[in-house]
Amino acid sequence: MSNPSLAAIAQQCDGAHKDGDGWRAKCPVHRGQSDTSLHLWEEDGQVRVHCFAGCERKAILDALSVERIRHEPRYQALYTYHDAHGNLLFQVVRASGPKKAFFQRRPHPTEPGKWLNDMKGILPVLYHLPEILKAIPTGVTIYLVEGEKDVETLRMHGLTGTCNPMGAGKWLDQYSQALKDATVILLPDNDAAGRAHADLVTTRLAGYVHSLRRLDLPGLPDAGDVTDWLQAGHTIEELTALTQQQKPAITAPHMVIRSFADIPTERIEWLWDPYIPYGKLTIVEGDPGLGKTFLLLALATALSRKAGLPAQRGGLTTPAQTPMTTLYITAEDGYADTLVPRARDLGADLHYLKAVFGWTTNDTDIQPFSLAQVTLLEEAIRDCQAKCIILDPLQAFLGADVDMHRANEVRPLLMQLGMVAAAQRCAVVAIRHWNKQAGGKATYRGQGSIDFTAAARSVLAIGESPEDETVRVLAQSKNSLAPLGRSQMFRILDGRFEWCGSTEIDADTLAQVQPQKRQHQRHNAMEWLKAYLRQGPQLSTAVIVSAEAVGLSERTLNRAKAALGVLSAREGKEWFWRLPAFQEWDRYPGQDDVDEDDA
């Protein structure tokens, strides 16, 4: 006996109507009031049925007088996804068997009726997307759950639901865009993955939805969901009542206005008085290579060891009663080869220094951190109970699409960073490099927009002391919360950090003398190198060692070499330097003057 057509079988049921490639109708077994509980479709030439109320397939086929397939069905449930225009994109298939297993498949592009078990070339969408897009403008509440089974359960009770494909933790940006301006009720599954997924979705929907309420259903068993909850005897009316009692986790953007009279005043608190305030943004800036990173590692070390910091009137500030945690985010130095060894050598309790490597949704594909993930940063600060956040350097974390010279692009990110600092009562300290402008006021020496300086409540400049090239000066160029702090000096020798007392050198003086000092150092190096090479070609390694002996760094020596046009040539395996006017070098025929780095 052959089965009649799918349409003829479906039309035996009340309320039968087309639904995508199949039919929906009232189930002939339990005869519920909903017309969406029974799903009928064809697959591999056979009629398939599924009742979302839980009726047995055998009973349904018997009621419809459909010849049953002798072998077990290949699929336990089939969920079809459509694009915004109603075109079939792909299906999520729950395979038959004792274990819960899903896979995705798409229509074969050239062979109608056949399927390919992959998602190649398919952009995932929300389940029942066309229905969702029609419902949002009318103000219909969208119930957001974790799986397609729960969506169908809610639809059977007359509610509008959706989920993302492929389960927990797989939320994509296009899903947030599809729910723009929606009123959302989020119903997490009662397990760790379900709660983490709900946290992720709440974070990603901020700024998109009109409102979002999260309802953790009471009385759910472990790993239970809304389907289990309703099958346990709870009702839609009870669900609605519980939802209305929940305070929205997200609401549509709106202006918040309060009278000055209703705003309680707060006393400014300091991580380091008066240089680094809590709840605000502090910028530490200066030329590269002057010890900004070392200084902040020394700060983190002091926090981890409950040690004091230099005070205004000499001595040290009163140390904290407990060690403090620092979150360090860097785009320049490596943690393993540079920052951790330095912090260890400084004597830090490394348990209180936390490295931020980036962000991820699956613990494997780590994405670089930027201020676009400031919400995730706030969560990390809260989780680690961090009191100091270091961004090294700040401009590396603005994001690829942000122009650091445009105030309208920089200011919103800095405002969000400041709001995080205020909300978590922590100090955010960001490193910024100086530009190449010679002299001038320290306020205008930082790279990028002046809005960096405007957004910060404290700006600290670091430079070489004009009196001692081994000493660095930390001078405050801006303090919006208190008078400018007294300039402090420090020294870094052989990996050791030490404070050297205070000085009268202010930030503007420091900014003005830096280019002069560099120029003076290079001039001295050029004079020394000319005198050293006047006797003829010299072994390059010997030149470097001799320069170090008189206090010239290799970097300064190389700058002097370039300025003088000193030439390099190789004899055998050795490199020699010579002044360009020295002709005796030509006794080595065939040896062209080249740069050692190019050899």
Q: What is the pLDDT of residues 549-595, one digit of tens each?
A: 777 888 888 888 888 888 888 888 888 998 886 444 344 333 444 44
d(CA 559, CA 552): 11
Q: Which two tokens stand for residue 307?
A: 């040690």
- Amino acid making up residue 481: L
Phi, psi of 386 (to 5 degrees): -75, 145
Burial class of 11 by CB neighbour count within 10 A (0 to 12, 13 to 18, 19+): middle
Q: Are 143 and 171 in contact (CB under 8 A)?
A: no
d(CA 89, CA 110): 14
State the pTM of this model. 0.53
Percent of the chain with pLDDT over 90: 45
Mean pLDDT of 394-415: 88
Beta bridge mates, 479: 458
pLDDT the model gives residue 422: 94
Q: Are 393 and 433 in contact (CB under 8 A)?
A: yes
Phi, psi of 516 (to 5 degrees): -65, -40
> What's the chain's average pLDDT?
86
Q: Which residues of 389-428 are buried (b: 16+ CB within 10 A; e: fewer)?
A: bbbbbbbbbbeeebebeebebbeebbebbbebbeebebbb
Q: How far is CA 311 from CA 284, 320, 458, 485, 553, in A?
A: 18, 14, 16, 9, 33
pLDDT of 253 over the 70 cut: no
Q: Is 282 helix (H, G, I), strand (E, B) or coil?
A: strand
pLDDT of 97 over the 70 cut: no
The listed range with the strongest mean pLDDT (140-149, 510-519, 547-556, 573-582) is 140-149
Q: Which residues of 328-341 are buried (b: 16+ CB within 10 A; e: fewer)?
A: bbbeeeeeeeebbe
CB atoms under 10 Å from CB of 94, counted, come to 18
Mean pLDDT of 118-138: 93
